[in-house]
Amino acid sequence: MDYKKLADFIFPDITKTIEDYEKEYSERGDVTVTRYAPSPTGFMHIGNFYSVVIDYVIAKRNNGIFYLRNEDTDQAREVEGAVEYIMHVLNHYKLSPDEYEIKGGDTKGSYGPYIQSERKDIYKCFIKYLIAEGKAYPCFLTAEELEVIRDNQAKAKSRIGIYGKFAKYRDYPVDDAIERIKNGEQFVVRLKSEGNFNHTFIFNDLANGEMKLHEDDIDTIIYKSSTELPTYHFAHLVDDHLMRTTHVVRGQEWMASVPVHYNLFKTFGFKMPKYIHTPLILKKDGEQVRKISKRLDPEARMTYYEEKGYPIYSVIESIMTIANSNYEAWREGHPDADFTEFEFSAKKMSPSGALYDLDKLDNISKNYISRLTKDEVFEFLDEYTKEYDPEFNAIINKDVDYTKAILNIEREQKKPRKDYAKWEDVKPAISYMFDELYNPTYEWVNITDMDEIKSILDKYINNYYNESDDKETWFEHVKELTESLDGYTSNMKEYKENPDNFKGNVADVSTVIRVALTGKNMTPDLYEIMKLLGKNRIIERINNIK
Ligand code: GLU
């Protein structure tokens, strides 16, 4: 059959050849090339981020290239600003791509366009070649016909799809096809699969190991005349080939498409890139372990981490920790190293899924934040609140030294306090230090009788509080106060031996002072807090207790 005639008829304007493109997109040499290839749906799942981190680590460890490709062939799903959002996330986490393109905007790299809808002619050239070779064909099956085929296959319990005898247009006469297209009929182009389902091939996934898979004999759709765009499968083949991708890191859900991709690469005789199908991200939900879900779990969306104010370091660490189980041990030995220095191994990923845990993230983050200086904490907090809490931002900026002094309580010391996992945690933890936010619900414990409380506080302020006391003297005075009260002891040993003999001890008395000044029964160092509050505010707050 005159397939060339058919190819020329369908794509009369396509004059370039595959060889032309091979020259244009020259080999990159011995360079590792990874990519993130999102569909612009305006959403980024933690699983996507996981793949990005792996892409980035693999590229950077090998001084390679990490690029971003906008896979917008399904234009119905496209959301405006989606790629800008993805770029924002990548830049925010300092995982910026070396090559990328923003629609109507900035672009970098010489393997573009990096937007699939701008690569129509390239795809058409590859499809034209296949049609001319008799390896692909236009198919006119209607939606109704496809449904009937599918129903019959389901009833007969056969494999679903257009293959073998169901591939009605495989050998359709060229002139008839041309006639139908001339009459304005829409069509799709299908690959004329040479696969045999009864044959298997070995596929070696870097994370999942060696697998024996069935060849694909389905005449997969590779192009749609209605949009003049290829399907994902075909675009992936052409782009990853021409952009010289060496490693495809993508979600586990694409594993099922491997036989299709194997078939396509084989048809063209192109070398397949290496594949890492990333394990699913799992979460513990009560007794059960399940896939993390964007519907049920707010932490499945990348917006969550920015809104809460998780430091980028913590989020990346938590991902690296689930990627390779030896990462934590490595980190202990290399506390200051960049995560890209870790010798990531795809083989060490757990194919059965990666258990993600917010408590773990919080732990990592608390440790990290506890080691920051007050200046660093202030800077992060300032940046976060500017965007997410402008009112608090104005408050912390009124007297920056005062705010930093608060942030420095039990910080910049050998065993710093680990109380913040994210910047959102700071405001509720220190709001009592700012009069404009101070609105106490007094958390009295052990000593709860208001007359008793008031008499303790009166005595303290009048006889034992001295603004200029150093820490030791300050505590001596609290002890003396305790001894002076009827039924209280400052001797904890004595108290513990016979608690029933006492109304309270020195800790209870300190708690009364703490609650009176902050509303809370648990705070960082009370002496430091009092130093920062100063005499006037201490007296005012104590006088406010009714
Ligand atoms: N556009 C595909 C997706 O968003 C890309 C899969 C791949 O990385 O190849 O899932």
Position 395 confidence tier, pLDDT thresholds 50, 70, 90? very high
The DSSP line for 424-493 is GGHHHHHGGGSTTT--------S---HHHHHHHHHHIIIII--TT--HHHHHHHHHHHHHHSTTEES-HH
* Tokens encoding 283: 């979460």
Q: Of the residues 50, 55, 58, 71, which should be mutated to test ligand 1's pocket, given the most ligand atoms within 8 Å of the CB? A: 71
Instruction: Say how far residue 15 (Cα) sits from the centre of its chain.
Output: 43
CB contact at 8 A, 492 and 475: no
Q: Which of these, 388, 351, 37, lies nearest to 205 by C-alpha position?
A: 351
* Tokens encoding 183: 């009459």
Neighbour order of strands in the sheet with 221-224: 136-139, 188-191, 221-224, 229-230
Dump pLDDT digits (tens) for 261-302: 999 999 999 999 999 999 999 999 999 999 999 999 999 999
CB contact at 8 A, 70 and 112: no
- Give the C-alpha separation, 193 to 191, whole Å: 5
| CA end-to-end distance (rounded Å), the chain | 99
Q: How far is the CA of 179 from the centre of ligand 1 (A)?
A: 36
Cis omega (within 30 of 0) on the bond before 113? Answer: yes
Domain(s) of CATH 3.40.50.620: residues in the chain: 3-13+120-278
Dump pLDDT digits (tens) for 185-233: 999 999 999 999 999 999 999 999 999 999 999 999 999 999 999 999 9
Q: Is the pLDDT of residue 1 over 90?
A: no
DSSP H helical ranges for 371-424: 374-388, 390-398, 400-407
Position 77 confidence tier, pLDDT thresholds 50, 70, 90? confident
Give me the mean pLDDT over the 244-266 stretch.
97
- Which of 298 and 76 is assigned the larger pLDDT? 298
CATH architecture designation of domain 450-543: Orthogonal Bundle (1.10)
- Give the C-alpha separation, 349 to 47, whole Å: 14
- Give the C-alpha separation, 45 to 301, whole Å: 5
pLDDT averaged over every residue in the chain: 96
Collapsing DSSP to helix, strand or coil, 24 comes out as helix
Residue 76 has a pLDDT of 81
Domain(s) of CATH 1.10.10.350: residues in the chain: 450-543
Pocket around ligand 1 at a 6 A CB cut-off = 37-39, 71, 232, 236, 248, 250, 254
Dump pLDDT digits (tens) for 102-146: 988 899 999 999 999 999 999 999 999 999 999 999 999 999 999
CB contact at 8 A, 352 and 279: yes
Q: Of the residues 236, 258, 278, 294, which should be mutated to test ligand 1's pocket, given the most ligand atoms within 8 Å of the CB? A: 236
Give me the mean pLDDT over the 327-347 stretch.
96
CB contact at 8 A, 459 and 347: no
Q: How far is the CA of 149 from the centre of ligand 1 (A)?
A: 29
* Tokens encoding 116: 């699939």
Q: How far is the CA of 44 from the centre of ligand 1 (A)?
A: 12
DSSP H helical ranges for 66-142: 82-92, 120-132
Residue 397 has a pLDDT of 98
Q: How far is the CA of 512 from the centre of ligand 1 (A)?
A: 59
Residue 313 has a pLDDT of 98
Residue closest via CA to ligand 1's atom 4 equals 38
Residue closest via CA to ligand 1's atom 8 equals 250
Give me the mean pLDDT over the 70-84 stretch.
89
Dump pLDDT digits (tens) for 482-541: 999 999 999 999 999 999 999 999 999 999 999 999 999 999 999 999 999 999 999 999
Q: Of the residues 58, 250, 257, which should be mutated to test ligand 1's pocket, given the most ligand atoms within 8 Å of the CB? A: 250
Dump pLDDT digits (tens) for 426-471: 999 999 999 999 999 999 999 999 999 999 999 999 999 999 999 9
CATH code at 3-13+120-278? 3.40.50.620
Longest dimension (CA), the chain: 109
Residue 196 has a pLDDT of 96
